[in-house]
Amino acid sequence: MTPAAIDKDAVARNFSVAAGSYDGWATAQAGIADALVRRLPGDFVPALIADLGCGTGLLSGRLLARYPSASLVGVDLAGGMVESCRKRRIGGARASFRTGDAEDPAALPDGADMAASSCAAQWFSDLSKTLRMWAASLPAGGLIALATLVRGTFPELAAAHLEAFGTPFPGLDFPDADGLAGTLREAGMRIYAADAIELSSVHPNAREALRSFRKIGARVPGRRPLGHHDMRMLLAALDRRRNADGMVALTHRALVLVGING
């Protein structure tokens, strides 16, 4: 994977603004976090978990419920997301949350035996490098548990953009699922699970579907907004792709990847 240019200050601002509305709109993200927790090995009992790109704590809460004896440190670029976790007291005294960059080794909590991340890695500048860094920080037997959106996500939006303008949709450059497991193997990890999944969020119309991105903070920094005419064209093309229930679906394609160190 080629490292992408990501304006992390803008990402942090966008997600901080969306902290209050995120959980109400992030239905697919919640389902992806559930899928990741279901694929964790039954005999693994961590003492300290790092939730990297923790957001509002969708994954943190599930991991703390799964591992009632574990402590957790959540790290996120967006101060608004971190403050949301603190205000809700996710995990009580067992959890702490701080602002930081999951791609910065200095942000990793000392002594973690599990590095987990769900629906955050698509915002990283260099996911392969970051996974190798996480693997190097873990003890023997430590775990990386990753769920990330991958190439092929939002095919409805891609098709609508192609119909409306004749060009590919200029969204995030999602990672290629095939290369991620190889990255962990190269870092000395044994693959325990590598499953491709699909979940859809559904919306009453195209306008609400596109609004959902703003409500969770998922706006691509530096991308110029469409003008009114072009937006109407895109909305019309997306509305023509309603499903059998008359709803507009946005399909999230994710890789759920679990690797064991050593």
Does any domain span residue 214?
A: yes
Q: How confident is the model at residue 178 (pLDDT cuts 50, 70, 90)?
A: confident
Does any domain span residue 243?
A: yes
Q: 179-194: per-residue pLDDT in tens?
A: 899 999 999 999 999 9
- Higher model confidence: residue 171 or residue 127? 127
- Higher model confidence: residue 170 or residue 45? 45
Do residues 30 and 56 make contact, with C-beta atoms less than 8 angstroms apart? Answer: no
Q: 63-78: per-residue pLDDT in tens?
A: 999 999 999 999 999 9
- Can you give the residue range of the structural domain that contains 250? 8-261
Question: pTM for this structure?
Answer: 0.93
Does any domain span residue 127?
A: yes
Helices assigned H by DSSP within 70-143: 79-88, 127-137
Do residues 213 and 28 make contact, with C-beta atoms less than 8 angstroms apart? Answer: no
Q: How confident is the model at residue 170 (pLDDT cuts 50, 70, 90)?
A: confident
Residue type, 88: R
The two three-digit tokens of residue 172, written as one number: 């995030």
Does any domain span residue 3?
A: no
Section 221-234 average pLDDT: 82
- Residue 119's Cβ-count burial label (10 Å; 0-12, 13-18, 19+) is buried
Does any domain span residue 202?
A: yes
Q: Where are the beta strands (DSSP E) in the chain?
A: 48-52, 71-76, 95-99, 114-118, 143-149, 189-203, 248-261
C-beta neighbour count of 84 within 10 angstroms: 23
pLDDT at 223 over 70: no
CATH assignment at residue 94: 3.40.50.150
Number of domains in the chain: 1
Axis crossing angle, helix 27-38 with helix 58-66, rounded to the nearest 10: 30
